[in-house]
Amino acid sequence: MSDILNSLENKIKLKEWINEIKEGIKTKLLFKLSRDGETIAKFHELCDNIKDNLIIIKAENNTIFGGYCTWIWANDGSDIKVNRFF
């Protein structure tokens, strides 16, 4: 998990929220801007065609926000592919 969520309390709360959406979900850090670079091409290389995405962003002012969706990222010029709806 990313170091954006640097407190154990925040990590536990996030896992609780994720389990409410989908029980037994496993997390894996796919893309990290500071590790993987600042290009959209690299993001799509690492994240395309993977379902059930959790995005966590830490802004320059240290505000943390994000979201969870079932969309599958695609960079093939088509519309966003939808895996399923809740």
Dihedral Cα 44, 50, 56, 9, nearest 10 deg: -150
**Whole-angstrom distance between the N-terminal and C-terminal Cα of the chain?**
25
pLDDT tens track for 8-64: 787 787 777 777 766 666 778 899 888 999 888 898 899 888 888 888 888 888 888
Above 80 in pLDDT, residue 76? no
User: 8-27: buried (b, 16+ CB within 10 Å) or exposed (e) per residue?
Assistant: eeeeeebeeebeeeeeeeee
